[in-house]
Structure 1
Amino acid sequence: MNLNQKAILLIGLLTLMPGLFAQVVRERINFDKDWKFAFGHPCDVEKDFNTGTSYFTYLAKAGFGDGAAAVAFDDRTWRPLNLPHDWAVEVPFDAKGSHSHGYKAIGRNFPDVSVGWYRKHFTVDEADYGKQFYIDFEGVSRDAKVWVNGHYLGNEPSGYQSFGYNITDILNYGGENVVAVRADVTLEEGWYYEGAGIYRHVWLQMNAPLHVRKNGTFVIADIDADKAKVTVKTEVENRNQEASTYIVSQQIVNAEGKVLAKAKSGENTIAAMAKGEVDLTMDVANPHLWSLEDPYLHKVITQIVVDGKVIDEYKTRTGFRTVHFDADKGFFLNGKHVKLKGTNNHQDHAGVGCAMPDELIRWRLQQLKNFGSNAYRSSHNPATPELLDMCDEMGILVIDENRLMGSHQEAFDEVERLIRRDRNHPCIFVWSMGNEEWGIECNVLGERITTTMQNFARTLDPTRPMNAAVSGGCNQGVSAAVEVMGYNYLGQWDTDKHHELFPDQPSMGTEEGSTWATRGIYFDDPDKHYMRAYDHLPRPSWETIETSWKHYAERDYLAGMFIWTGFDYRGEPTPYAWPSITSYFGMMDLCGFPKDNVFYLKSWWGNEPVLHLLPHWNWAGKEGDTIQVWAYSNCDEVELFLNGKTLGRKTMEVNEHLEWPVIYKPGKLKAVGYTKGKKVMEETVETTADAYRVELTAHKTRLKNSANDLAVVTVKVLDKKGRSVPVADNLIKFSVEGPAHLIGVGNGNPTSLEKDKFFDEYEVIQTPNIEKYGLGEADIDLPSEATDVLEKDSKNKMMVTQFDLTKDDVAKGKFIWYSKKVGDHLQAYLNGTAIQPMDGNLDEMAVFNIDNALLKEGTNKLVLVGVPLPPPNQWDEPNKHLGDIQMVKAADQWQRKLFNGLAQVIVQPDESGTGEIILNATAEGLKSTKLILTVE
């Protein structure tokens, strides 16, 4: 067995510290590395590795996983990769693809790439028998089925729910184990890009049999003046085969590591295979509160003690704060009024799709904070756990949203998993029960379901209010029952009227704006599907970003608003269709490059001086035409100059912008901002010369040796004076040297059909079962040496299989035959030529590199000459499968066109070591450049 293909994981990690595990038995191990991936099929069983076709299937008998779910399945030909992984971002665009999912070639019209299989081999130390093991998935898109060692564990239909299984009893301790996951995206769950595959982290959890349950603590802080009464509810599970007696010990520790409070229970007895709860309350004097400005975090350390020994230690990170909605005055955090300045966001980024490394999530959150956003709505599904951790750390409020409304048991289960997983996060200030449920939102069903869901959710978390986002404008149904009203779009709501009808109901704008803009475009171009980036009405009856914010800013009863959206995302390319493949709604494009609306928001949402001019000043061919020049600023006044001549000084009204009609002349536009009559800042845009050289800028240059870290690199071209050329569209090519690789490119162009990724393409060529022939029984060309073997003994047979290749396959592919034993004393021939003698006693998992000179376009015949395996018993059938062939086509060079002067490339450490990374960028006719990064 080729051990390089396996994650020999726990032998090292769990035995290095025997002293520790003699008492505390809890370890959470990242399971992202060393997976194998291949496409299956939703309906063709042969293409789906004949899974579920055995006489006894995995649904009939325990441990009877077959096909790709079987322990012995040969996955050596599959593509090796690490998680997180989104295969949807890797497939091409196609006009037959789903409009709402960005025309990616997956789904019903593309069955060959709509099912993905993942397999991982791992080893558990024999000494760890008796401990409890769980495998936890943060998110798999979608309809995931999971097997471990051939045992079917279950199905998770949603691509957004975290889920897991206890695998203790089915592990092979001291030997090899296999987890298999099948994801099927044939049917869509959302109406926006969702990705495909295991796009979030996977974890292996080890506990003592008596332990704190997964997500088993709930920290409730009752804050009054200068003290906090902190109650910690702890759920304990006993997987022992007999009753156990234990003590629960709690500590509250501040960010500096100081213990602020302690508590210890008396002895508790819990029956075998039972669950129990222990509640302890502690007082904390003068608690350091979590806030937007000071996101201070505490840690609660829960210990399970048996016979004086700590056998489990569970750490809960949380923050102490109060949240309160007032129907007339809005939202309050720690008693202080806060206007919510939020954005809606899907999990999707240029180059990587939904499979975002942790640092990219953090980078995106920082881009939102940079323009003054203080709140985030996870649209329209539970957020990735790491995003919530980062919002805790960065001081960002979160609406954590349930995926689908309902009051049946399955819907309750989804709400419970959401709230139990996330309720200790201080960033979450409200739970959203659902979004725009048009079938129920304006009728009595919606009112009933909302009431029932809220009542159920309060049993899990009585400390936060419930919300739902409603678009009907109907003042009944969901909007009549929901605790905190969520308005979706002023074009559909009269918020003042609703407030009069429901004066005791707090409210906020859960979706506002929905405006259309293409970064760097200032004249509509319907033929190219480009929309001007001035803040304009998307529809006649709707609102702009500016008018939306003014509406919410001027009304105290409105707690604030969440813009649709912070970032562009794949899918929903309103108002266009193919070949538009991303939305136009974002304040930033798919790469996170800001559109001009960002600077309007920064002016009125942020706390620093802002002065921004639009558009750029490169308008060759428009000399003499009138160009609308806008200024976004929070200065009292702004004066505009063209080539040194004033065009007027204007007063800036609060929450507005300024405009000047300017006759275009090449040169320099300059804006000067004044506050209280004094000049405080200026901004210029200039007509540039032609592009001269490439420039690369990373958001950071020192990286950790971790797959969770990365550098987001901005690519642009400069003229000879060092000015960025805003209309450049050069094709830039990239290469990287050192301990890193590239994981994605983008440019924010909503109609770009360029590749997001360049990777070695793996294809499994499945060979049919062999046909056996004696000499003269089939028309097979073989050399005389093989004929002699056949003539020598009638037991020798020709064992024949075949496979088809295209001309491109033969020219570009690298082929490896992963053989399986079908006989003894074998010799192999490919298209009549011996490829390598085979020893009859050779391990059946032998590997053979195939010389491309032996291959041809069309049908290729692979023949083994020797003695076929006899059946051990008359009812047995010996192996008839020669093994499969792996074809690998090397990746093309990474490249991307600039769009309106910008592109992006993402560099990720490959964990092969530390040292210097060199990112090279070249473009035809331009001076090349390199960027040096360091992995520490």
Structure 2
Amino acid sequence: MSFGAGTAEVPSRARARAQGKQNSVVLFDADWRFQRGGAQGAERPDFDDSKWRKLDLPHDWSIEDLPGTRSPFDPEAISQVSGGFTTGGTGWYRKTFAVPNEEKGKRILLQFDGVYMNADVWLNGQWVGAHPYGYTSFWFDLTDKVKFGGANVLAVKVKNEGENSRWYSGSGIYRHVWLKTLEPTHVAQWGTYITTPAVNASSARVNAKTRVLNESEQPARVTLLTRIVDGAGQEVTKVESSQTVEPKAAYEFNQDATIKSPALWSPDSPTLYTAVSEVYRDRQLTDRVETKFGVRTISFDAASGFRLNGQPLKLKGGCLHHDNGPLGARAFDRAEERRVELLKASGYNALRLAHNPPSPAFLAACDRLGVMVIDEAFDMWREGKNPHDYHLYFDEWWQRDVESMIERDRNHPSVIMWSTGNEIPNRDKPEVVKLAKVLGDYVRRLDPTRPVTSAVNDLREDKDPYFATLDVAGYNYAAGGDHMKKSLYEYDHGRVPNRVMVGTESYPLEAFDSWMNVLDHAYVVGDFVWTAFDYIGEASIGWRGYWQERNFYPWNLAYCGDIDICGWKRPQSFYRDALWKKDQVSVFVKPPRPSFEPNPKRQPWSKWHWLDVVADWNWKGFENKPLEVSVYSSCEEVELFLNGRSLGRRPTNRSTAYIATWEVPYQAGALRAVGYDAGGQAGAAELRSAGEPTRVRLSADRTSVKADGQDLSYITAELVDARGVRNPKAENLVKFALEGPGRIVGVGNANPVSTESYQQPQRKAWQGRCLVIVKSDKRAGKIKVRASAEGLAPAEVVIDTTAP
């Protein structure tokens, strides 16, 4: 199976001069009113919302403190373990805006990137439409309901009620909203589709399919000029076509152009081009849309595995839910980008976006940073997994939601596979197999350039008909035989030798076996651990196990991610470094007492946890008692030192699963591991005992942000001793104060059992640190953030905000 390239439309930059006017796509996030709970008659334009709360989007009310409390968590919440004991309900949003009278005659479109869930929209008291699914983007044409030259009142009702999700969903308009003002002759919504069907070192053929609408009452002679621009802004090629388009009709232009000596998109070199689509009617420019794209080819087969641009490449993958930890589901562009940055730095080159389409900002970040994506549609089809989930709407809505995902996302070079679903029930039944084929064929009709997969558990031969509907077979938990005791990859390859397989989910505790299966077999193209990033909900599957009980409270995080919700690497992430990277060394200690209360009822097959180890050499009261020390390393061997004294060398290779262990009598000081390759030192790691904390230390991931009302800086507060060593036992309450053009939008510490507020300007440290997230407003200047803790010296950091 060989496939072409992907592209990404950039709607926020689509502008065109036309007859002295301007088409525009405007971010519509500012100046909304919000009411948590019901509001009779709130769709009416004369409804009094003056006492409602003012806010900007993106917004998620489930991450906010419950009324009258300082916590978003409720042990009696309907969501229970699945939603991390958070609360949904009903919420209302209203926004008043004006459309100038001179825009009369244009089309006015409203686009929502994501609303969870069951959104109903009214404009000026008239119902515009509804959208049940909480993860696909949707849009409405408001033209016939807009008051040109007057005030317009937009109302949105959101209902996140009942048991409808197996993880934390968030509630509300949690992604961006856009208002589009377009000439009657324009590129259709998600109307560009650009591929590169023929690529070699000397040239790339670019195929641009562009759907143009003529929504006027007269025939239009339309010319489409498509220009290809490189990253430096230089035009490299262009193509022009003309066609008469009938009134109230559409025409799809099909154009070919050639890029000479193309720069190819890959994780190591994520080069992007821009296709600029200019629409002319009677020689007047009426629309201009920019579409980012990458020149790349992909292919999958059992003999060669996955190839990118003709070169074999293994997918170092992880699964990812959509929440942004302390921000809840709010999809700020920087929050999405930061997650991709951190994952790329940790060695990931691929992500499975489980179990729903992501935000456009997330995919744009993957394009820029060079991370490949499995884009997934659904967690269920006709049979639900919760009483009030998407299965209630599937038959009526699945085609529209698949279209939304494909037409919106087929323009991203990062997307290399489409997934139609995750662990769909009754996959062995003929009616489900039939539906799988219907979905797969529909996806291929919309985009034949990428393979179709689906994630399957309970891996038995009765799933063969279901797998036959897919291009790539998604195997969940195959390294351990899906709760059995042997790998299924080799067994199934012997039965079905042409099947291409990918580990769509794997246990952290089976990281070694999962990755060895990928390395050893071309037909296993990659492995996606559950999960790359920790998340809210499915509380405690990484400690207490999967079967969910009410007494799991106060657990609210899954506690299974390589990276925690604040963005800090957990021990299993360092182990993955040893599997994926050269010259890696890390050292961890098994606590003398369990980190949390063990669950004696945890199922043996429930392996979403990692070993109970910590990066901590502070064990007062355990002097001279043996502690188990583990070193993860990709070096040939490692040597362990305690206070400068060698405790010997040990091999770290495939035969040891890249782990060496020692029993070390505890003495305060420095525990240092040194890795060697070919006799020479190749890497090192050290744990140092800390004294009592004396001060707070602040570090910001970015000390300069855009003054656009959206940009973020993540600031880590550490409790350190007089020598600057973080004390991982410190749990002091850290208080934050902010001055300047910004505000605090989230705090956190990644403690999976903390029920503290994510909103209040304070947080207890956990493992000696906590996090505060600051958002700019639209004023340039300096944001000063001060952190203090009782009895400790405070700290301050300054964030510059500059005009975008």
Match of 1:545 in 2: 511
CA–CA separation in structure 2 for the residues paired with 1:349 and 1:305: 42
Match of 1:460 in 2: 446
- Match status 1:481 vs 2:473: no
Match of 1:571 in 2: 537
Match of 1:287 in 2: 262
From 749, 752, 771, the counterpart of 1:904: 771
Post-superposition offset of 1:704:
1.2
| Maintained 8 Å contact 1:442/1:472 | no
**1:838-872 CA-partner distances (Å, limit 9, x unpaired):** xxxxxxxxxxxxxxxxxxxxxxxxxxxxxxxxxxx
CA–CA separation in structure 1 for the residues paired with 2:123 and 2:652: 64
From 90, 93, 97, the counterpart of 2:73: 93
State how many pairs are aligned: 725
| Maintained 8 Å contact 2:637/2:649 | yes
From 127, 143, 154, the counterpart of 2:118: 143
Post-superposition offset of 1:283:
2.0
Post-superposition offset of 1:25:
4.2
| Maintained 8 Å contact 1:470/1:478 | no
1:418 is paired with a residue whose SS is helix
| Maintained 8 Å contact 1:159/1:189 | no
| Maintained 8 Å contact 1:468/1:478 | no
Segments of 5+ residues of structure 1 without an aligned counterpart are 1-12, 42-47, 50-66, 108-113, 516-536, 538-543, 759-893
Match of 1:399 in 2: 374
- Match status 1:556 vs 2:522: yes
Post-superposition offset of 1:212:
0.8
From 723, 726, 729, the counterpart of 2:725: 723
From 496, 500, 505, the counterpart of 1:506: 500
CA–CA separation in structure 1 for the residues paired with 2:148 and 2:163: 39
| Maintained 8 Å contact 2:324/2:336 | no
Match of 1:411 in 2: 398
CA–CA separation in structure 2 for the residues paired with 1:334 and 1:189: 41
Matches within 5 A, 1:373-452: 373-403=348-378, 404-405=380-381, 408=395, 410-438=397-425, 440-452=426-438
Match of 1:612 in 2: 586
Letter in 2 for 1:629: V
CA–CA separation in structure 1 for the residues paired with 2:92 and 2:560: 34
Match of 2:636 in 1: 636
Post-superposition offset of 1:357:
1.5
From 198, 207, 225, the counterpart of 2:182: 207
CA–CA separation in structure 1 for the residues paired with 2:195 and 2:270: 17
1:20 is paired with a residue whose SS is strand
Match of 1:241 in 2: 217
| Maintained 8 Å contact 2:736/2:786 | yes
Match of 1:839 in 2: none
CA–CA separation in structure 2 for the residues paired with 1:217 and 1:666: 63
From 324, 338, 345, the counterpart of 2:313: 338
| Maintained 8 Å contact 1:86/1:198 | yes
From 780, 783, 792, the counterpart of 1:914: 780
**Kindly tell me: are residues 77 and 178 of structure 1, through their superposed partners in 2, closer, same or farther at Cα, counting changes over 3 Å?**
same
Matches within 5 A, 1:703-718: 703-718=705-720
| Maintained 8 Å contact 1:371/1:606 | no
Post-superposition offset of 1:644:
2.1
Match of 2:272 in 1: 297
Post-superposition offset of 1:479:
2.5
Aligned-pair identity in percent equals 36
Greater RCO (CA < 8 Å, at least 6 residues apart):
2
Letter in 2 for 1:623: E
From 923, 927, 934, the counterpart of 2:793: 927
Post-superposition offset of 1:156:
0.6
Letter in 1 for 2:768: G
| Maintained 8 Å contact 1:24/1:313 | no
**1:4-43 CA-partner distances (Å, limit 9, x unpaired):** xxxxxxxxx99xx9x93426742110000000000233xx
**1:608-655 CA-partner distances (Å, limit 9, x unpaired):** x32211131111122232211111222222110112221111122045
CA–CA separation in structure 1 for the residues paired with 2:23 and 2:76: 49
Match of 2:668 in 1: 666
| Maintained 8 Å contact 2:90/2:160 | yes
Match of 1:827 in 2: none
Match of 2:141 in 1: 166
**1:419-466 CA-partner distances (Å, limit 9, x unpaired):** 00111100000001110012x322222321121111111111111100
Post-superposition offset of 1:409:
5.6
CA–CA separation in structure 2 for the residues paired with 1:720 and 1:235: 65
2:468 is paired with a residue whose SS is helix
CA–CA separation in structure 2 for the residues paired with 1:230 and 1:326: 25
CA–CA separation in structure 2 for the residues paired with 1:289 and 1:324: 15
Post-superposition offset of 1:356:
3.1
**Kindly tell me: are residues 626 and 329 of structure 1, through their superposed partners in 2, closer, same or farther at Cα, counting changes over 3 Å?**
farther
| Maintained 8 Å contact 2:199/2:296 | no
| Maintained 8 Å contact 1:102/1:582 | no
- Match status 1:130 vs 2:105: yes
Match of 2:606 in 1: none
Post-superposition offset of 1:301:
1.3
Letter in 1 for 2:488: D
CA–CA separation in structure 1 for the residues paired with 2:319 and 2:558: 13
CA–CA separation in structure 1 for the residues paired with 2:516 and 2:773: 37
From 230, 250, 257, the counterpart of 1:254: 230
Match of 1:74 in 2: 48
Segments of 5+ residues of structure 2 without an aligned counterpart are 1-11, 67-71, 383-393, 546-551, 590-615
CA–CA separation in structure 2 for the residues paired with 1:215 and 1:88: 31
| Maintained 8 Å contact 2:298/2:308 | yes
| Maintained 8 Å contact 1:252/1:262 | yes
| Maintained 8 Å contact 1:405/1:433 | no
Post-superposition offset of 1:730:
0.7
**Kindly tell me: are residues 228 and 189 of structure 1, through their superposed partners in 2, closer, same or farther at Cα, counting changes over 3 Å?**
farther
CA–CA separation in structure 1 for the residues paired with 2:375 and 2:683: 39
| Maintained 8 Å contact 2:699/2:797 | yes
Q: TM-score, normalised by structure 2?
A: 0.88
Match of 2:31 in 1: 34
| Maintained 8 Å contact 1:23/1:311 | no
**1:501-523 CA-partner distances (Å, limit 9, x unpaired):** 2221211101111x4xxxxxxxx
CA–CA separation in structure 1 for the residues paired with 2:364 and 2:22: 24
Post-superposition offset of 1:190:
2.4
| Maintained 8 Å contact 1:350/1:756 | no
Letter in 2 for 1:697: S
From 203, 214, 238, the counterpart of 1:227: 203
Q: TM-score, normalised by structure 1?
A: 0.76
CA–CA separation in structure 2 for the residues paired with 1:40 and 1:719: 47
Post-superposition offset of 1:271:
2.1
**Kindly tell me: are residues 471 and 24 of structure 1, through their superposed partners in 2, closer, same or farther at Cα, counting changes over 3 Å?**
farther
Post-superposition offset of 1:320:
1.0
